[in-house]
Amino acid sequence: MDSHTEATSQAQPAPRERVELAGLNPPEPTDEERAWFAQWYADGNARHAEWAATRTPHAA
């Protein structure tokens, strides 16, 4: 790597740092939001399992 490339790469923050510096990170979810998402995800998994049981030849 030449000196120009080294200087340029050192001056540029990593992608995650650029997002943080720009203030674009979403806020941390609340416990209520986390619980809602966990339930939503579990419901989706259950619906998929029911659907898959009707589509899979070897399902018992």
Domain ranges across the chain? 3-55
Residue type, 41: Y
> What percentage of the chain has pLDDT greater than the value 90?
38
**Assigned token pair, 59:** 């399902």
More confident residue, 59 or 56: 56
Q: What's the chain's Rg over C-alpha atoms?
A: 23
**Most distant pair of Cα atoms in the chain: their distance:** 65
DSSP state of 56: -
Q: How confident is the model over 2-16, as pLDDT tens digits?
A: 565 555 556 776 776
Cβ neighbours of residue 21 under 8 Å, at least 6 residues apart? 13
Q: Which pLDDT score, from 0 to 100, does residue 27 have?
A: 82
Going by pLDDT thresholds of 50, 70 and 90, the confidence category of residue 33 is: very high
Q: Which pLDDT score, from 0 to 100, does residue 44 have?
A: 97
Confidence (pLDDT) at 42: 97
DSSP state of 2: -
